[in-house]
């Protein structure tokens, strides 16, 4: 599953490919916001991202991107 994290006053969004389902990741985000902690996520490739929840603009959950083969 792909998630996009948008941080206030940042020019680029953070895109992560997660192995967990949307419900589990949404709970992690909600718990971090409720506690006022850092949002700490590790993607499918092992890349770790930590974002202060006070700076979150929004988090978008989407389906995994299909791998394209060939030419369009």
Number of Cβ atoms within 10 Å of the Cβ of 3: 22
Can you give the pTM of this predicted structure?
Answer: 0.78
Asked if residues 12 and 4 have their Cβ atoms less than 8 Å apart, the reply is: no
How far is it, in rounded angstroms, from Cα 45 to Cα 18? 9
CA dihedral sign of residues 49, 53, 58, 59: positive
Task: Express each pLDDT in 34-61 by its tens digit.
Answer: 999 999 999 999 999 999 999 999 999 9
pLDDT digit string (tens) for 14-35? Answer: 999 998 888 999 999 999 999 9
Residues 6+ apart with CB under 8 A from 28: 39, 41
Q: Please answer whether residues 56 and 10 qualify as being in contact, where contact means their C-beta atoms are separated by less than 8 angstroms.
A: no
């Amino acid at each position: 599953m792909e998630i996009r994290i948008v941080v206030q006053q940042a020019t680029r969004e953070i895109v992560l490919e997660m192995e967990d389902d949307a419900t589990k990741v949404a709970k992690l985000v909600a718990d971090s916001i409720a506690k006022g902690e850092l949002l700490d996520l590790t993607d499918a490739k092992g890349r770790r991202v930590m974002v202060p929840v006070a700076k979150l603009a929004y988090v978008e959950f989407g389906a995994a991107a299909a791998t394209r083969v060939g030419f369009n």
